[in-house]
Amino acid sequence: MKYLRHISFLKAVLQHSLTAFGGPQVAMALMQYRFVEKRRDLTAQELVEYSAFCQLLPGASSTQTIVLVGFKRGGVVLALLTLLVWMLPAVCIMTCLALLVSYFSWSGEIKALSLLQPMSIGFIISAALLLFQKSVNSIITRWIFVITAIITFIGFNTPWTIPTIIILAGVVTNFSDKRIPTDGTAPKSIQWRALVLFVLLFIAAGFLSERATKQNWESRKLFNLFENNYRFGSMVFGGGDVLIPIMYEQFVTRPASKRIQENKRDVVKIDRANFLTGTGLVRAVPGPIFSISSYMGAMALKDKSMSTQLYGALVASLGIFLPSFLIVLFFFPIWQYLKKYAIFYRSLEGVYAAIVGIMIGASLYLIKDIAVDLKSATAVSVSMYVVIFFLSTYLLYKQKLAPQWIAFSCIVIGLLMSGWF
Protein backbone atom coordinates (compact mmCIF):
# COMPACT_ATOMS: atom_id res chain seq x y z
CA MET A 1 0.00 0.00 0.00
CA LYS A 2 2.89 2.37 0.67
CA TYR A 3 3.65 2.49 -3.06
CA LEU A 4 0.19 3.89 -3.88
CA ARG A 5 1.51 7.35 -2.99
CA HIS A 6 3.90 7.04 -5.93
CA ILE A 7 1.15 6.58 -8.55
CA SER A 8 1.21 10.26 -9.49
CA PHE A 9 4.98 10.04 -9.94
CA LEU A 10 4.69 6.97 -12.19
CA LYS A 11 1.99 8.78 -14.18
CA ALA A 12 4.46 11.64 -14.70
CA VAL A 13 7.10 9.11 -15.83
CA LEU A 14 4.61 7.71 -18.37
CA GLN A 15 3.89 11.21 -19.69
CA HIS A 16 7.63 11.79 -19.89
CA SER A 17 8.15 8.57 -21.86
CA LEU A 18 5.47 9.58 -24.39
CA THR A 19 6.94 13.02 -25.07
CA ALA A 20 10.72 12.48 -24.90
CA PHE A 21 11.51 12.65 -28.62
CA GLY A 22 15.12 13.11 -29.70
CA GLY A 23 17.48 11.24 -27.36
CA PRO A 24 19.07 11.82 -23.93
CA GLN A 25 19.58 15.59 -24.26
CA VAL A 26 15.86 16.09 -24.89
CA ALA A 27 14.99 13.67 -22.09
CA MET A 28 17.14 15.78 -19.77
CA ALA A 29 15.33 18.93 -20.87
CA LEU A 30 11.91 17.42 -20.23
CA MET A 31 12.97 16.04 -16.84
CA GLN A 32 13.98 19.57 -15.88
CA TYR A 33 10.48 20.77 -16.77
CA ARG A 34 8.45 17.87 -15.36
CA PHE A 35 10.31 16.61 -12.29
CA VAL A 36 12.11 19.76 -11.16
CA GLU A 37 9.91 22.75 -11.98
CA LYS A 38 6.46 21.17 -12.06
CA ARG A 39 6.57 18.33 -9.50
CA ARG A 40 9.67 19.25 -7.47
CA ASP A 41 10.72 15.61 -7.04
CA LEU A 42 14.32 16.84 -6.99
CA THR A 43 16.28 20.06 -7.36
CA ALA A 44 17.87 21.34 -10.57
CA GLN A 45 21.32 20.71 -9.07
CA GLU A 46 20.40 17.11 -8.23
CA LEU A 47 19.14 16.50 -11.77
CA VAL A 48 22.35 17.89 -13.28
CA GLU A 49 24.40 15.77 -10.89
CA TYR A 50 22.43 12.62 -11.76
CA SER A 51 22.80 13.30 -15.48
CA ALA A 52 26.54 13.96 -15.19
CA PHE A 53 27.06 10.82 -13.11
CA CYS A 54 25.15 8.66 -15.60
CA GLN A 55 27.20 10.04 -18.50
CA LEU A 56 30.23 8.41 -16.88
CA LEU A 57 28.64 4.95 -16.84
CA PRO A 58 28.07 2.45 -19.64
CA GLY A 59 24.47 2.01 -20.75
CA ALA A 60 21.49 4.25 -21.48
CA SER A 61 22.16 7.54 -19.64
CA SER A 62 18.62 8.92 -19.95
CA THR A 63 17.23 5.64 -18.58
CA GLN A 64 19.70 5.64 -15.70
CA THR A 65 18.86 9.26 -14.83
CA ILE A 66 15.11 8.65 -14.59
CA VAL A 67 15.78 5.44 -12.61
CA LEU A 68 17.77 7.50 -10.08
CA VAL A 69 14.83 9.88 -9.65
CA GLY A 70 12.66 6.87 -8.77
CA PHE A 71 15.40 5.47 -6.52
CA LYS A 72 15.57 8.77 -4.62
CA ARG A 73 11.81 8.77 -4.03
CA GLY A 74 11.14 5.13 -3.18
CA GLY A 75 14.21 2.92 -3.24
CA VAL A 76 14.87 -0.12 -5.40
CA VAL A 77 11.24 -1.14 -5.95
CA LEU A 78 10.16 2.26 -7.24
CA ALA A 79 13.34 2.46 -9.33
CA LEU A 80 12.35 -0.81 -11.03
CA LEU A 81 8.77 0.37 -11.62
CA THR A 82 10.16 3.63 -13.02
CA LEU A 83 12.34 1.67 -15.46
CA LEU A 84 9.38 -0.41 -16.67
CA VAL A 85 7.05 2.57 -17.14
CA TRP A 86 9.78 4.55 -18.92
CA MET A 87 10.83 1.84 -21.37
CA LEU A 88 7.52 0.06 -22.14
CA PRO A 89 5.92 2.61 -24.53
CA ALA A 90 9.01 2.82 -26.76
CA VAL A 91 9.57 -0.94 -26.59
CA CYS A 92 5.97 -1.66 -27.61
CA ILE A 93 6.01 0.88 -30.44
CA MET A 94 9.33 -0.36 -31.87
CA THR A 95 8.15 -3.98 -31.64
CA CYS A 96 4.96 -3.15 -33.55
CA LEU A 97 6.96 -1.28 -36.19
CA ALA A 98 9.23 -4.31 -36.62
CA LEU A 99 6.18 -6.50 -37.22
CA LEU A 100 4.83 -4.00 -39.76
CA VAL A 101 8.13 -3.99 -41.63
CA SER A 102 8.29 -7.81 -41.49
CA TYR A 103 4.80 -8.63 -42.65
CA PHE A 104 3.78 -5.69 -44.82
CA SER A 105 7.13 -4.49 -46.21
CA TRP A 106 6.29 -1.14 -44.63
CA SER A 107 9.29 1.16 -44.23
CA GLY A 108 7.45 3.83 -42.26
CA GLU A 109 6.52 7.26 -43.57
CA ILE A 110 8.63 9.17 -41.10
CA LYS A 111 8.62 12.42 -43.07
CA ALA A 112 5.34 13.30 -41.40
CA LEU A 113 7.19 13.30 -38.08
CA SER A 114 10.12 15.41 -39.27
CA LEU A 115 9.01 18.53 -37.34
CA LEU A 116 9.82 16.68 -34.12
CA GLN A 117 13.49 17.33 -34.94
CA PRO A 118 13.49 21.15 -34.54
CA MET A 119 11.06 20.77 -31.62
CA SER A 120 13.52 18.46 -29.84
CA ILE A 121 16.36 20.95 -30.24
CA GLY A 122 14.10 23.70 -28.91
CA PHE A 123 13.47 21.57 -25.80
CA ILE A 124 17.22 21.16 -25.23
CA ILE A 125 17.86 24.91 -25.57
CA SER A 126 15.01 25.66 -23.17
CA ALA A 127 16.47 23.41 -20.47
CA ALA A 128 19.99 24.74 -21.07
CA LEU A 129 18.77 28.32 -20.53
CA LEU A 130 17.20 27.37 -17.21
CA LEU A 131 20.25 25.46 -16.01
CA PHE A 132 22.61 28.22 -17.18
CA GLN A 133 21.06 30.62 -14.68
CA LYS A 134 21.71 28.20 -11.80
CA SER A 135 25.00 26.57 -12.74
CA VAL A 136 27.08 29.10 -14.70
CA ASN A 137 27.70 31.96 -12.28
CA SER A 138 31.46 32.56 -12.07
CA ILE A 139 34.37 33.27 -14.43
CA ILE A 140 35.67 29.70 -14.31
CA THR A 141 32.25 28.12 -14.91
CA ARG A 142 31.65 30.47 -17.87
CA TRP A 143 34.95 29.37 -19.42
CA ILE A 144 34.08 25.71 -18.79
CA PHE A 145 30.67 26.27 -20.38
CA VAL A 146 32.10 27.85 -23.55
CA ILE A 147 34.95 25.37 -24.01
CA THR A 148 32.69 22.40 -23.31
CA ALA A 149 30.13 23.58 -25.88
CA ILE A 150 32.84 23.91 -28.55
CA ILE A 151 34.43 20.51 -27.83
CA THR A 152 31.03 18.80 -27.74
CA PHE A 153 30.13 20.27 -31.12
CA ILE A 154 33.42 19.13 -32.66
CA GLY A 155 33.56 15.65 -31.10
CA PHE A 156 29.89 14.81 -30.60
CA ASN A 157 30.12 11.44 -32.40
CA THR A 158 33.15 10.29 -30.41
CA PRO A 159 31.99 8.08 -27.49
CA TRP A 160 34.62 9.28 -25.00
CA THR A 161 34.08 13.02 -25.60
CA ILE A 162 31.37 13.62 -23.00
CA PRO A 163 32.82 11.47 -20.15
CA THR A 164 36.25 13.07 -20.70
CA ILE A 165 34.82 16.61 -20.65
CA ILE A 166 32.91 15.93 -17.42
CA ILE A 167 36.01 14.55 -15.66
CA LEU A 168 38.26 17.43 -16.78
CA ALA A 169 35.68 20.05 -15.79
CA GLY A 170 35.52 18.49 -12.34
CA VAL A 171 39.31 18.55 -12.03
CA VAL A 172 39.47 22.26 -12.93
CA THR A 173 37.03 23.43 -10.22
CA ASN A 174 38.52 21.10 -7.62
CA PHE A 175 41.13 23.79 -6.88
CA SER A 176 38.49 26.08 -5.38
CA ASP A 177 37.88 26.50 -1.65
CA LYS A 178 34.17 25.70 -1.83
CA ARG A 179 32.90 24.35 1.50
CA ILE A 180 30.94 21.14 1.82
CA PRO A 181 27.41 21.67 3.21
CA THR A 182 26.57 19.69 6.33
CA ASP A 183 22.82 19.39 5.81
CA GLY A 184 22.87 17.07 2.81
CA THR A 185 20.82 13.90 2.43
CA ALA A 186 22.41 10.77 3.87
CA PRO A 187 23.83 8.48 1.18
CA LYS A 188 21.84 5.38 0.22
CA SER A 189 23.27 2.02 1.20
CA ILE A 190 25.41 0.27 -1.41
CA GLN A 191 23.39 -2.26 -3.43
CA TRP A 192 25.83 -5.18 -3.48
CA ARG A 193 23.07 -7.48 -4.76
CA ALA A 194 22.87 -5.39 -7.92
CA LEU A 195 26.56 -5.95 -8.65
CA VAL A 196 26.36 -9.70 -7.92
CA LEU A 197 23.29 -10.07 -10.15
CA PHE A 198 24.94 -8.05 -12.93
CA VAL A 199 28.07 -10.24 -12.92
CA LEU A 200 26.13 -13.51 -12.69
CA LEU A 201 23.87 -12.54 -15.59
CA PHE A 202 26.88 -11.50 -17.69
CA ILE A 203 28.57 -14.88 -17.13
CA ALA A 204 25.38 -16.93 -17.54
CA ALA A 205 24.36 -15.10 -20.72
CA GLY A 206 27.71 -15.78 -22.39
CA PHE A 207 27.79 -19.43 -21.29
CA LEU A 208 24.22 -20.25 -22.34
CA SER A 209 24.52 -18.38 -25.65
CA GLU A 210 27.64 -20.33 -26.63
CA ARG A 211 26.18 -23.62 -25.45
CA ALA A 212 22.91 -23.02 -27.32
CA THR A 213 24.82 -22.31 -30.54
CA LYS A 214 27.16 -25.30 -30.27
CA GLN A 215 24.36 -27.74 -29.41
CA ASN A 216 22.01 -26.18 -31.96
CA TRP A 217 19.13 -25.59 -29.55
CA GLU A 218 15.85 -24.72 -31.24
CA SER A 219 15.63 -21.52 -29.19
CA ARG A 220 19.35 -20.70 -29.59
CA LYS A 221 18.76 -17.30 -31.23
CA LEU A 222 16.81 -16.08 -28.20
CA PHE A 223 19.83 -16.88 -26.02
CA ASN A 224 22.10 -15.21 -28.59
CA LEU A 225 19.93 -12.09 -28.63
CA PHE A 226 19.96 -11.77 -24.85
CA GLU A 227 23.74 -12.19 -24.69
CA ASN A 228 24.37 -9.72 -27.52
CA ASN A 229 22.16 -7.03 -26.01
CA TYR A 230 23.31 -7.60 -22.43
CA ARG A 231 26.89 -7.18 -23.62
CA PHE A 232 25.97 -3.99 -25.50
CA GLY A 233 24.20 -2.55 -22.46
CA SER A 234 27.17 -3.38 -20.23
CA MET A 235 29.91 -1.89 -22.38
CA VAL A 236 28.51 0.90 -24.57
CA PHE A 237 29.58 4.41 -23.57
CA GLY A 238 28.04 7.35 -25.41
CA GLY A 239 24.38 6.35 -25.75
CA GLY A 240 22.29 5.30 -28.72
CA ASP A 241 24.51 6.99 -31.31
CA VAL A 242 27.29 4.61 -30.30
CA LEU A 243 25.02 1.60 -29.82
CA ILE A 244 23.67 1.64 -33.38
CA PRO A 245 27.06 1.21 -35.16
CA ILE A 246 27.98 -1.60 -32.75
CA MET A 247 24.67 -3.34 -33.50
CA TYR A 248 25.30 -2.89 -37.21
CA GLU A 249 28.65 -4.66 -36.91
CA GLN A 250 27.12 -7.51 -34.87
CA PHE A 251 23.94 -8.13 -36.85
CA VAL A 252 24.77 -6.99 -40.42
CA THR A 253 28.53 -6.95 -41.05
CA ARG A 254 29.67 -9.93 -38.94
CA PRO A 255 27.19 -12.50 -40.35
CA ALA A 256 28.42 -11.66 -43.86
CA SER A 257 32.10 -12.03 -42.94
CA LYS A 258 34.27 -14.71 -44.54
CA ARG A 259 34.95 -16.48 -41.23
CA ILE A 260 31.26 -16.86 -40.38
CA GLN A 261 30.45 -17.97 -43.91
CA GLU A 262 33.20 -20.61 -43.90
CA ASN A 263 32.16 -21.98 -40.50
CA LYS A 264 28.52 -22.00 -41.65
CA ARG A 265 27.38 -20.73 -38.25
CA ASP A 266 23.71 -19.81 -38.03
CA VAL A 267 24.24 -16.52 -36.22
CA VAL A 268 21.74 -13.76 -35.53
CA LYS A 269 21.56 -11.55 -38.62
CA ILE A 270 19.43 -8.71 -39.93
CA ASP A 271 19.03 -7.47 -43.49
CA ARG A 272 20.84 -4.16 -44.05
CA ALA A 273 17.75 -2.37 -45.43
CA ASN A 274 15.62 -3.48 -42.47
CA PHE A 275 18.35 -2.43 -40.04
CA LEU A 276 18.59 1.07 -41.52
CA THR A 277 14.81 1.39 -41.51
CA GLY A 278 14.86 0.70 -37.77
CA THR A 279 17.50 3.36 -37.13
CA GLY A 280 15.28 5.90 -38.87
CA LEU A 281 12.10 4.85 -37.09
CA VAL A 282 13.62 4.99 -33.59
CA ARG A 283 14.34 8.71 -34.09
CA ALA A 284 10.63 9.34 -34.54
CA VAL A 285 9.59 7.38 -31.44
CA PRO A 286 9.50 8.90 -27.93
CA GLY A 287 11.55 7.33 -25.17
CA PRO A 288 15.05 5.84 -25.03
CA ILE A 289 16.97 5.22 -28.27
CA PHE A 290 18.03 1.90 -26.70
CA SER A 291 14.49 0.72 -27.51
CA ILE A 292 15.88 -0.02 -30.98
CA SER A 293 16.89 -3.36 -29.45
CA SER A 294 13.18 -4.32 -29.44
CA TYR A 295 12.99 -3.71 -33.18
CA MET A 296 16.21 -5.65 -33.81
CA GLY A 297 15.09 -8.53 -31.58
CA ALA A 298 11.88 -8.98 -33.57
CA MET A 299 13.55 -8.36 -36.94
CA ALA A 300 16.27 -10.95 -36.26
CA LEU A 301 13.54 -13.59 -36.07
CA LYS A 302 11.41 -12.41 -39.01
CA ASP A 303 11.57 -15.89 -40.58
CA LYS A 304 9.89 -17.31 -37.45
CA SER A 305 6.32 -16.99 -36.16
CA MET A 306 4.94 -13.70 -34.83
CA SER A 307 4.95 -15.07 -31.27
CA THR A 308 8.65 -15.94 -31.60
CA GLN A 309 9.34 -12.41 -32.86
CA LEU A 310 7.58 -11.03 -29.79
CA TYR A 311 9.78 -13.21 -27.58
CA GLY A 312 12.81 -11.89 -29.46
CA ALA A 313 11.78 -8.28 -28.84
CA LEU A 314 11.19 -9.00 -25.14
CA VAL A 315 14.49 -10.84 -24.65
CA ALA A 316 16.48 -8.13 -26.48
CA SER A 317 14.81 -5.37 -24.46
CA LEU A 318 15.55 -7.06 -21.14
CA GLY A 319 19.12 -7.64 -22.24
CA ILE A 320 19.79 -4.01 -23.20
CA PHE A 321 18.10 -2.29 -20.21
CA LEU A 322 19.01 -4.60 -17.31
CA PRO A 323 22.72 -3.66 -17.21
CA SER A 324 21.90 0.07 -17.10
CA PHE A 325 19.57 -0.53 -14.15
CA LEU A 326 21.95 -2.73 -12.16
CA ILE A 327 25.08 -0.66 -12.82
CA VAL A 328 23.52 2.65 -11.77
CA LEU A 329 21.99 1.18 -8.59
CA PHE A 330 25.37 -0.16 -7.51
CA PHE A 331 27.57 2.82 -8.32
CA PHE A 332 25.28 5.70 -7.27
CA PRO A 333 25.52 5.11 -3.49
CA ILE A 334 29.30 4.93 -3.89
CA TRP A 335 29.23 8.28 -5.69
CA GLN A 336 27.12 9.78 -2.87
CA TYR A 337 29.63 8.51 -0.32
CA LEU A 338 32.58 9.98 -2.23
CA LYS A 339 30.86 13.39 -2.29
CA LYS A 340 31.62 13.70 1.43
CA TYR A 341 35.22 14.36 0.45
CA ALA A 342 36.18 17.86 -0.70
CA ILE A 343 38.01 16.61 -3.81
CA PHE A 344 34.76 15.20 -5.18
CA TYR A 345 32.33 17.80 -3.88
CA ARG A 346 34.25 20.75 -5.34
CA SER A 347 34.39 19.03 -8.71
CA LEU A 348 30.59 19.25 -9.00
CA GLU A 349 30.71 22.99 -9.77
CA GLY A 350 32.65 22.26 -12.96
CA VAL A 351 30.52 19.23 -13.77
CA TYR A 352 27.31 21.30 -13.61
CA ALA A 353 28.74 23.94 -15.97
CA ALA A 354 29.99 21.23 -18.33
CA ILE A 355 26.53 19.65 -18.59
CA VAL A 356 25.05 22.98 -19.73
CA GLY A 357 27.86 23.33 -22.29
CA ILE A 358 27.25 19.78 -23.50
CA MET A 359 23.57 20.55 -24.05
CA ILE A 360 24.40 23.67 -26.11
CA GLY A 361 27.11 21.87 -28.09
CA ALA A 362 24.78 18.95 -28.81
CA SER A 363 22.07 21.39 -29.95
CA LEU A 364 24.47 23.08 -32.38
CA TYR A 365 25.56 19.71 -33.76
CA LEU A 366 21.95 18.63 -34.30
CA ILE A 367 21.17 21.96 -35.99
CA LYS A 368 24.12 21.33 -38.34
CA ASP A 369 22.78 17.87 -39.21
CA ILE A 370 19.31 19.23 -39.92
CA ALA A 371 20.77 22.04 -42.05
CA VAL A 372 22.55 19.44 -44.21
CA ASP A 373 19.28 17.51 -44.67
CA LEU A 374 17.45 20.70 -45.63
CA LYS A 375 19.82 21.70 -48.45
CA SER A 376 17.41 20.35 -51.06
CA ALA A 377 14.24 21.32 -49.16
CA THR A 378 11.79 24.00 -50.20
CA ALA A 379 11.78 27.47 -48.66
CA VAL A 380 8.47 26.64 -46.95
CA SER A 381 9.95 23.56 -45.25
CA VAL A 382 13.03 25.45 -44.07
CA SER A 383 10.88 28.29 -42.73
CA MET A 384 8.64 25.84 -40.90
CA TYR A 385 11.67 24.20 -39.24
CA VAL A 386 12.93 27.59 -38.05
CA VAL A 387 9.50 28.62 -36.73
CA ILE A 388 9.01 25.31 -34.89
CA PHE A 389 12.47 25.58 -33.30
CA PHE A 390 11.95 29.09 -31.91
CA LEU A 391 8.31 28.49 -31.00
CA SER A 392 9.09 25.27 -29.10
CA THR A 393 11.85 27.00 -27.16
CA TYR A 394 9.61 29.95 -26.29
CA LEU A 395 6.54 27.89 -25.31
CA LEU A 396 8.50 25.59 -22.99
CA TYR A 397 10.94 28.15 -21.54
CA LYS A 398 8.71 31.19 -21.16
CA GLN A 399 5.12 29.94 -21.24
CA LYS A 400 5.78 26.60 -19.47
CA LEU A 401 3.42 24.83 -21.88
CA ALA A 402 3.31 21.07 -21.31
CA PRO A 403 5.72 19.38 -23.78
CA GLN A 404 3.22 16.70 -24.81
CA TRP A 405 0.98 19.39 -26.33
CA ILE A 406 3.89 20.89 -28.22
CA ALA A 407 4.85 17.44 -29.55
CA PHE A 408 1.25 16.63 -30.51
CA SER A 409 0.94 19.93 -32.37
CA CYS A 410 4.14 19.27 -34.31
CA ILE A 411 2.90 15.82 -35.34
CA VAL A 412 -0.44 17.23 -36.55
CA ILE A 413 1.29 19.99 -38.54
CA GLY A 414 3.68 17.42 -40.04
CA LEU A 415 0.79 15.19 -41.10
CA LEU A 416 -0.99 18.14 -42.70
CA MET A 417 2.15 19.16 -44.59
CA SER A 418 2.63 15.56 -45.81
CA GLY A 419 -0.90 15.41 -47.18
CA TRP A 420 -2.17 12.76 -44.77
CA PHE A 421 -5.39 14.73 -44.17
Within 291-305, where are the H helices?
292-299
Within 346-402, where are the H helices?
347-373, 379-397
Least confident of 37-41, 160-164, 182-186, 397-401: 182-186
Percent of the chain with pLDDT over 90: 22
pLDDT band with cut points at 50, 70 and 90 for residue 118: confident
Q: Identify the residue with better confidence: 251 or 113.
A: 251
Residue 119 has a pLDDT of 80
How confident is the model over 21-55, as pLDDT tens digits? 766 767 878 888 889 988 888 888 888 888 888 87
Q: Is 238 left (phi over 0), alpha (psi -120 to 50) or beta?
A: left
pLDDT band with cut points at 50, 70 and 90 for residue 345: low
pTM attached to this predicted model: 0.74
Q: Identify the residue with better confidence: 183 or 394.
A: 394
How confident is the model over 54-77, as pLDDT tens digits? 877 888 888 999 999 999 888 889
Can you tell me the mean pLDDT for 201-218? Answer: 86
Residue 190 has a pLDDT of 67
pLDDT value at 388 more than 60: yes
Q: How many Å apart are CA 320 and CA 318, to the nearest integer?
A: 6
pLDDT value at 91 more than 90: yes
Q: Within the chain, how many helices (H) and strands (E) appear? A: 18, 0
Q: What value, to the nearest 5°, has the Cα angle with vertex 388 and ends 383 and 392?
A: 155
